[in-house]
Structure 1
Amino acid sequence: MQVVGYHSRVEDHAALLLADEGAVTVERLDPGTELTYALGERHCAGAVDGERHYACDGADAPYCPEHTSRWPCARCTGDCNKPIEACDEEHAVYLAVFAPDTVKVGVTRSWRLETRLREQGADRAAHLRTVADGRIARQIEADVATDLGDRVRVPTKVAGLHESVDEQFWSTLLDEYETLATYDFDYGLALTERPMAETLATGTVRGTKGRVAVLDNNGSTYAVDLRALVGYEVTDGGTDRDLQSSLGAFG
């Protein structure tokens, strides 16, 4: 069995996609779910088409060059001919804030705004503009990004999982931009200390925040980047690796 993908959000929670002999199953990561997978070798996750998986033995993980897809909008700044159909839909320009004081600008189709913010694990957000299409949105995003940036790496998000948004930072940010609406998200993690970053699939799911799953294991709490699991062969039985324990595990 192999981890061949993940969903940042399925309805309310994330999920892992597992493939076994060509069939794909969904392992929802609802709070309270017990995961008991041991990680084996890692290689290309191949391709998924609906409920079918096409395996690949390529050594590169999570995907080999043949199975690496390039999203045409990933680095777009609006200097394009709107290459995909979705470009012609109404778009929203937004600011996403991650605790305690990290912010990025982004764009998405208007109807996906709240979903997109949750997929990224934003703690607060502000809807700045609604525009006619994706090209205009990307042009605005590129302009705002010169001041704020348009990417936040997963380690930065993990570093603030146990914190709240700095209210002074948030207030100052809102004073600098006109907004159509603001958002405040709660992922129910109830963390009192920073979880340790690990790559594992054993433990009790406390919750998910974007593509990060928080697992409780043997008295310690771990933050797992779901993308880091993609490509691993897994077996039932739990991890047999020695994991770093948090100080709280000895209390």
Structure 2
Amino acid sequence: MQVVGYRPRVTDPAALLVAENGSVERRPLAPGTTLSYTLGTRHCAGSVDGETHYACDNEAAPYCPEHTDRWPCARCTGNCDKPIDTCDEEHAVYLAAFAPDTVKVGVTRSWRLETRLREQGADRAAHLRTVGDGRIARQVEADIATDLGDRVRVPTKIEGLADSVDERWWESLLARFAPIESYDFEYGLELRDRPLAETLATGTVVGTKGRVAVVSNNGSTYAVNLRDLVGYELDGGTTDRDLQSSLGAF
């Protein structure tokens, strides 16, 4: 059984996608779920088409060059010929904030705005502008990004998991941009201490935030980047690796 993907929590609970004998199943990561897997070898996760998995034995993980999608919009700044159909849809330009005081600008199709913010695990967000197509949105994004940036790394998100957003900082940003609408998201983690970053699939799920799962194991709390699990073969039984203990374990 191999981890071949994941789904962040939006309306349904977050889930790992696991494949065995060509079939794909969702393994929910709802709070209270017990995970009892050890991580085996890691190799390319292949490709998924609905509930069908096409395996790949190449060593590169999580995906080999053959199975790596190259999204044309990843580093687009609006100097393009709108290469994909969705470029012609109405887009929203937004700010996504992560505790305590990290922010990025981003764009998405207007109808996906709240979904996209939850996929990223944003604590606060603001809808800045609605524009006619993706090219205009990327141009606006690139202009704002020179000041605020357009990406936040997962380790930075993990560092703020036990924090709350600095209200004065956030209000000052809203005053600068006068957004159409603002958002305040809750994920129910209620952490007293920052979890330790770790790659494991053993323990009890505390909750999820974007692509990060918080797992309790032997009195310690760990933050798992779900993408770091993609490609691993899963075996039954709990991990026997020595794991660093969090402050909550003492």
User: TM-score range, shorter-chain basis?
Assistant: over 0.9
| Residue identity opposite 1:236 in structure 2 | G
Alpha-carbon shift at residue 9 of structure 1 (Å): 2.9
Partner amino acid for 1:177?
Answer: F
CA spacing shift, 1:95–1:194, aligned 2, 3 Å: same
SS of corresponding position for 2:87: helix
Displacement of 1:173 in angstroms is 0.7
**Which amino acid counterpart does residue 156 of structure 1 have in structure 2?**
T
Write out per-residue CA displacement over residues 112-131 of structure 1, whole angstroms, 9 at most, x where no aligned residue: 10110000000000100001
The secondary structure found in structure 2 opposite 1:13 is coil
User: 1:12 deviation in Å?
Assistant: 3.3
Residue in structure 2 matched with residue 110 of structure 1 by the alignment: 110
Q: What is the alpha-carbon distance in structure 2 between the residues aligned to residue 95 and residue 18 of structure 1? A: 33
Q: CA RMSD in A?
A: 0.8
Deviation (angstroms), 1:247: 2.1
User: Partner residue of 1:146?
Assistant: 146
Q: Using the alignment, how far apart are the partners of 1:81 and 1:30 within structure 2?
A: 42
Give the alignment of 1:228-247 within 5 angstroms. Answer: 228-247=228-247
Deviations 1:81-117 (A, max 9, x none): 1111111111000000000000000000111101100
> Counterpart of 1:4 in 2: which secondary structure?
strand
Partner of 1:157 in structure 2? 157
Write the distance in 1 (CA, Å) between the matches of 2:42 and 2:235: 13
Deviation at 1:10? 5.5
Normalised by the size of structure 2, how large is the TM-score? 0.98
Residue number in structure 2 paired with 1:215: 215
1:99 is matched with 99
Post-superposition offset of 1:220: 0.6
2:60 matches 1:60? yes
1:35-54 to 2 correspondence within 5 Å? 35-54=35-54
In structure 2, the residue corresponding to 1:145 is in which secondary structure? helix
Partner of 1:204: 204
Rounded to whole Å, the distance in 1 between the matches of 2:74 and 2:118 is 19
Cα distance in 1 between the residues matched to 2:137 and 2:247? 46
- Note the residue ranges of structure 1 that are not aligned, 5 or more in a row: none
How far did 1:11 drift?
2.5
Task: Calculate the TM-score normalised by the size of structure 1.
Answer: 0.98
Render the CA deviation track for 1:153-194: whole Å, top value 9, x for unaligned: 000000000000001110111111121000000100000110
In the alignment of these two chains, the number of paired residues is: 250
Give unmatched runs, 5+ long, in structure 2: none
Does 2:18 correspond to 1:12? no
Matched-pair identity in %: 76
